[in-house]
Chain A
Amino acid sequence: MYRIVDKKVLNPTVVQLQIEAPLVANKAKPGQFIILRVDENGERIPLTVAGVNKENGTVKIIYQIVGATTEKLSHKEAGDYLQDFVGPLGVATHLDGLKKVCIVGGGVGCAIAMPIAEALHKMGADVTSIIGFRNKDLLILEDEFRACSNTLRIMTDDGSYGEKGNVTVPLKEMLESGEKFDMIITIGPLVMMKFVVATAKPFGTPVTASMNPIMIDGTGMCGGCRLTLNVDGKKVTKFACVDGPDFNGYEIDFDEAMSRGRMYGAFERHAYESTCNLFGKKVQ
């Protein structure tokens, strides 16, 4: 069992937890993920590590309440225990040698982008962060991004905070004005990452995208997290759990990944609604 040491509600649908898991805290690097189960018989869900505290042996995770498991997780408080917590899984984001990087995060994906921005900042790299949210209420980690970014652009779909528009607007503007990034690292909804790649393409800037497909074991056994890369005109199957979660954005078949993400849509909706009913909560 793994104790929840601290809980912080970041916005109405996003929650941050600190979990006591010393072995994971000792190893986890930016870009890696963990798998947890809330209780016996629970689903295994992957969540990217949002930070670690090696002294306290705690791992920070930030998640959005989107389905049955995350709804159930949101009812756990500091002092409660999680059934299972395993990691760190996946390959850490490759940051070596990067001098000037643009981080493009969307929604709760910013929670994953933040430790990467932080690590780059510590390495002395020049960090530009573009973070996007639907509206002001859903904004997270503004101060944290400000602390580790040379340039920070905050975008909201409705203009209720920062600038109005999506994340590709300032990205395109910067690239057009002649900004040269060694790498664009993007984390967020698939459709956003797809358009970040499309925006960068005419400028030839390398793009790394962090994928978060459906997963079960997370250790390279089930193959549920597979995705297709187009490498030099050839289709290659890769597994996000052991080969990723980061991939070359230009090679990812985003449309296929989006379709695969919908595989259990109806089941998930139903499970979410019954969990909400169980807790007497309004379905979002």
Chain B
Amino acid sequence: MANMSLKRNEMPTQDALVRAHNFDEVALGYTEEQAIDEANRCLNCKNMPCVDGCPVKIHIPEFITKIKEGDFEGAYQIITKSSSLPAVCGRVCPQETQCESKCVRGIKGESVGIGRLERFVADWHNTFCTEEPVKPECNGHRVAIVGSGPSGLTCAGDLAKKGYDVTVFEALHTAGGVLVYGIPEFRLPKKIVAKEVETLKQLGVKIETNVVIGKTLTIDELFEEGYEAVFVGSGAGLPNFMGIPGEALNGVYSANEFLTRSNLMKSYLDNPETPIMKGGRVAVVGGGNVAMDAARTALRLGADKVYIVYRRSMDELPARREEVEHAEEEGIEFRLLCNPTEILGYSNPNDARNPKNGFVTGMTCVRMELGEPDERGRRRPVVVEGSEFTIDVDTVIMSIGTSPNPLIKSTTEGLEVNRWGGIVVNEDGLTSRNAVYAGGDAVTGAATVISAMGAGKTAAKAIDEALSK
């Protein structure tokens, strides 16, 4: 029976004031009843516009039909044909701008909660299914994947399913890339990523941690070792800073560093060995999803007050609406149309032993107003003269993007990069080097998990076509 409610089933969440002080997941997931009720809102359109909106082309109406029938494992099997990381995507994909933005139900009312249903199916499988996936017969072709983030894992999974002998090389000590060092526990629990990685291992994917391609081994050496194709999904790189005075003060972090300390190095747990500045007043500069993650992490680590400082207005804020709403509910204050001009610190040479020396005390900002649109159509922020003011803060977290990592480019001859250092690829993900493919942030600069997965998928298809000739 079709459910013609214009509203989708609400996602149950932890109460904002409770969750602001713990690292448990914010969204709790649908119950079976909610999932079936929501699935019944799907009209099973013949032309499937939602699939067009999905970077990895999940057969959305098909898996939702299985949910309607109560066949949750069947639904899972349909999703995994297209996605190697369903429990991850169900949580962190910006569905509102992808599959859900194309949903017919969204024309008059709310679109079907596709992301929520995907998450439900993946969690149901992870809870109730104990069967290991069947390892396909090996076809003898060896492929190396550089980086175990979303693009690398997707490429690895797709190739493993086709029988390739796949090895993933990871620079850090844990597999998952940005899924483990960047995205916090309350949005994507580590055990979910670990489970997805485990599934890939069951498919035969080998994961070698502590290998930095470009340093420990080069891409040329991978070919010498017998790999027939290489996919580079090494992620974005060095954090950007604003170039304003005071950015070297103690208490100024890049979002990458702050999140890595908390997530990968587990400063969010009780007994960490890696220190992080906790408590006090925190300003996060930037308006993307990473900025939201950093702000909400700071809050959970015990900050008294957390600001998001962003130079445009709410309409231009690039973060997902849902994340912004969650942040606001938790008490994060948005200082919009504001831009920092200097970070202030305590410095008293006559009192050299004072432990406050060298630490942040505040941040000077100017107010901005929106002027003419720039080449991308976003209205350019312009400084309001004489509008300087200072906010008292102890920690500043810069979340204003990254620049590509130089390690692979500098050690791989003939690998073409563009003006800002991103690896140049064709529509198949092929680089200027024969049999070297690339995708994800290493190509596009900071983007989303799902677009990286889409790139990993495209490259896997191209690698398969090239090697099965």
Contact = CB atoms under 8 A, between A and B. Distances in A.
A186 interface: no
Interface in B346-389: 355, 357-358
Interface stretch (B92-100, B207-215, B454-462): B207-215
Given A41-B266, A221-B405, A226 B248 contact: yes
Contact of B173 (A83, A224, A263, A267): A83
Given A27-B215, A271-B273, A220 B406 contact: yes
Contact of A221 (B216, B237, B247, B272): B237
A216 B253 CA distance: 12
A68 interface: yes
Contacts of A221: 181, 235, 237-239, 256, 260, 405
A242 B216 contact: no
Contacts of B265: 43-44, 216
A212 interface: no
B210 A86 contact: yes
A219 interface: yes
Interface string A236-270: 01010010000000000100100110111111100
Interface in A80-103: 83-89
A218 B275 CA distance: 16
A260 B257 contact: no
Contacts of A50: none
B417 to A, nearest CB: 15
B400 to A, nearest CB: 11
Contact of B216 (A41, A88, A227, A253): A88
Contacts, number: 117
A141 to B, nearest CB: 26
Interface residues of A, number: 43
A219 B212 contact: yes
B215 A223 contact: no
B170 to A, nearest CB: 10
**Counting chain A CB atoms within 10 Å of each CB, which of B172, B235, B273, B275 scores highest?**
B273
Interface residues of B, number: 42
Contacts of A69: 273
Contact of B406 (A89, A226, A242): A242
A267 B260 contact: no
A223 B275 contact: no
Given A23-B211, A86-B212, A223 B239 contact: yes
Nearest to A40: B173
Contacts of A27: 215-216
Contact of B250 (A222, A228, A239, A260): A260
Interface string B219-257: 000000000000000010111010100011111011011
A23 B237 CA distance: 24
25 contacts: A23-B211, A23-B217, A27-B215, A43-B265, A43-B274, A84-B210, A86-B171, A87-B215, A87-B216, A216-B257, A216-B261, A220-B238, A221-B181, A221-B260, A223-B238, A223-B253, A223-B256, A223-B257, A237-B243, A242-B238, A242-B407, A253-B248, A259-B358, A260-B250, A263-B250
Given A221-B237, A222-B260, A263-B250, 10 more contacts: A23-B217, A84-B173, A86-B173, A216-B260, A216-B261, A221-B238, A223-B241, A242-B406, A263-B358, A271-B273
Interface of B: 171-173, 181, 209-212, 215-217, 235, 237-239, 241, 243, 247-251, 253-254, 256-257, 260-261, 264-266, 271-275, 355, 357-358, 405-407
